[in-house]
Structure 1
C-alpha cells in the first residue's frame, strides 16, 4: 500500500476482535511513531503500551469518547511534558500518532485516537513521573468486522479540495 492510499483509505476503527496483535507488528507500529519528525528533533514523546484489560478499561474512562480503549487489543498512551510550555509538542504528538495509525492500517490493524480529559486519573493509572502527562491514547486491534477497513468514506465526511485550498492568497 502506498502512503497516499493509506491516507485515503484509513478509517477510524472502534470495535475490535479479540485476536492479539503479534509483537513484531506492534514493534513496527511503535517504531513508526518513534521515527516521526518533531520540532528541532526534540522527540518529545514516550509511548506506554497497555495490554492489561483492567488498565485499558480504566483508561477508557478518562475521556468521554475513549470507550473504544476498553475493547482494544493494545492501547498506546502518548506521554509528554506540559505542551503548554512548548506548543509544537501537540503537533509533534499528532505526527507520531498518525505514523503509528497509518502503519497499523497497512498491516490490516485498525486504530483510533482518543483525547484524555481526566489527566489526573490517567497520570495515576499510568504511574507517570510528576513532569509527564498523557494527552491522548490510541486503540489498536484487528477490526471486529474486517470489512470496516474497506468501507468508503461518508459522502458528507470531507470538504472538497477546492473549498480548502487557496492559491497564493486567501
Structure 2
C-alpha cells in the first residue's frame, strides 16, 4: 500500500511537468478530442463545439472522406465499417446495432468511420484494403486488431476491445487512486 502511494507521488509530478498536448500540426489538423464534433476540412469551426447533455451520448459516426487516420492516433479507437454501397444490408444492420447501444463504445473511446464508396479510394480503404462488407477494429496506436466479414454486436466489439493490450492498461490505470 505504501509502495503504491510512493509510486503515485513520484509519477504525478512527472506527468504534470510534461505539459499540455500540442494543438495541431503544421497542416492545421487538430487531434481528435473526445466528445467534440470534428471541424469541417475548409477550416471552419466545428458546428456546436463540444457536445453536452444527451448529444454527448451519441456515437461519433464519420464518413471516411472527412476523417484522417492520423487524427485518432492515441486519442480514439476507430471502428471502420466498409461496404460497396450504403444500401448493403450488413452495413445498415451494423450501423443500427452500434447506434442502438452506444454507451459501451463511448466508454472505450470508439469512433465509427464509414466508407461506402470504393471508387473514392479513401486513406482508410488504401490502408486497410477491404473487400465487400468489412468491419475493422483499430486500437489507439493505429494497429489493426480485428477484421470481420460480418456485422458484430456492440457486446462482441466491446469484449474484443477489452482484450487489447492498451485497453487492459487503461483499465489498470483506472483502478489506481
TM-score, structure 2 as length reference:
0.30
Q: Tell me the TM-score normalized by structure 1.
A: 0.31
Q: Which has the higher contact order (CA 8 A, sep 6+)?
A: 1
